[in-house]
Amino acid sequence: MNETRSNSGRRHSARPNLLHSGPCLWAGMMMAIWAAVQPPSVAGQSRVPTISVETLADDLWVIRDGLGSGNVLLYDVPGGAYLVDAGAPESASAIIATVDSLAENPVRTVISTHYHEDHLGANAWYAVRGARIMGHELLAVEALRDTTIAEMRWERRRANPTSLPTVQVTGPSMIKSGQPDGGTIAAIQKLQPAHSRTDIAVLIPTANVLHAGDLIEVGAYPFIDWWAGGSLEGMIEEVGLIVSWAQGDQRIVPGHGPVIGAKELAEYQTMLVTIRDRARAAIGRGASEAEFLDSQPTREFDAERGGEDAGRQFASLVWYGLTRGD
């Protein structure tokens, strides 16, 4: 697959020039900045979000936009609500309205599980409101690239710089409550390269809920972003770690699809390992990619993950990475 990338830098104007350019210019620039980070209006969009909300606890919800973009986890606590992922740009207005209707406290922290656009949708809007944005230390590096993958007809657009982390996650970290009990609000785990090299997972310990981002997909095959440092081996290892310590009542919020438990997670791990092993065996005996795909290596998993065509696409994606050293 062909790939072209170009980096985009940030432009910073000297602050004294802005402050001394007169009130009209200053006001005009502030209005322009505000307009740039407004969520897109639903009007005129070809796809209109249909919001659904799944209640996990009195103060914890999963919000979905009905368009298949990233799951949003909202945790409302005194002192400021938390979001894990903020949905797709085209759903930002609807997601923001839903968050405002559910949370008694304003959103003060947004945690991004990785760099893909369908998980960063409302980040810029919350940043302008004063929220901190947390994410992997490499998130900005990947988000600020234009990447074209010609054979997949996919072009990733550079993210709005305002949507990028103001707090970088460089290792395991805990967010503590400012309340007298000093409890843990969230535990953040920086993952090894898996779905991409920008992955983190977020645990809400009081509810035993883990948002795994696109490390886990439900109802579809996962995407391994080889072009941003993704790794099938890393994905299998990280899923295996979650399987090993997941308690029976733990709920796992995937990047896409409904909330699952430990049983479904173990089945997901089995799917990844089975297809990986079949690809390795085909490579080892000198088969071509076409021969591997014709063997239907995803056959027993297709019905629950989008059908035969989806399985063939995932098998081709696995082949691409394994034949290039993963």
Q: What is the CATH number of the domain that holds 117?
A: 3.60.15.10
Report the amino acid identity of residue 261: G
Give the CA angle between residues 156, 307, 280 to the nearest 5°.
Answer: 75
Residue 221 sits in the same domain as residue 277: no
* CA 324/CA 140 separation, integer angstroms: 25
CA atoms within 13 Å, Cβ hemisphere of 112: 36
Cα(40)–Cα(121) distance, rounded to whole angstroms? 9
Q: Identify the pLDDT of residue 265.
A: 95
**75 lies in the same domain as 205:** yes
Domain count, the chain: 2
Instruction: Please identify, among 205, 230, 260, the residue that sits at the C-terminal boundary of a domain.
Output: 260
- The reported pLDDT for the residue numbered 29 is 32
Whole-angstrom distance, CA of residue 134 vs CA of residue 111? 5
210/304 same-domain check: no
SS3 at position 81: strand
Q: What token pair was written down for 231?
A: 């790794």
Q: What does the alpha-carbon distance between residue 279 and residue 316 come to, in Å, rounded to a whole number?
A: 9
Q: How far is CA 95 from CA 39, 45, 72, 112, in A?
A: 10, 15, 8, 15
pLDDT in tens, the chain (326 residues): 433 333 333 333 332 332 233 333 333 333 333 344 444 443 344 578 999 999 999 999 999 999 888 999 999 999 999 999 999 888 999 999 999 999 999 999 999 999 999 999 889 999 999 999 999 999 999 999 987 877 667 787 889 999 999 999 999 999 998 776 778 999 999 999 999 999 999 999 999 999 999 999 999 999 999 999 999 999 999 999 998 877 678 999 999 999 999 999 999 999 999 999 999 999 999 999 999 999 999 999 999 999 999 999 999 999 999 999 88
Is residue 227 within 8 A of residue 264, CB to CB? The reply is no
pLDDT at 112: 98
Q: Are residues 310 and 248 in the same domain?
A: no
The distance between the two most distant Cα atoms of the chain, rounded to a whole number of Å, is 73
Residues 218 and 313 placed together within one structural domain of the fold: no
HSE-up (13 A, CA, CB side) for residue 163? 31
Could you tell me if 230 and 287 lie in one domain? Answer: no
Residue 265 resides in a domain: no
Does 292 lie in the same domain as 219? no
Q: Which residue from 308, 306, 315 is spatially nearest to 281, judged by alpha carbons?
A: 315
Q: Which of 200, 204, 187 is nearest to 74 (CA)?
A: 204
Domain assignment of residue 216, yes or no? yes
Contact predicate 259/250, CB 8 Å: no
pTM, entire model = 0.85
Measured between alpha carbons, how far is 278 from 44 in angstroms, rounded to an integer? 46
Same domain, yes or no, for 279 and 143?
no
Contact 115, 143 (CB under 8 A): yes
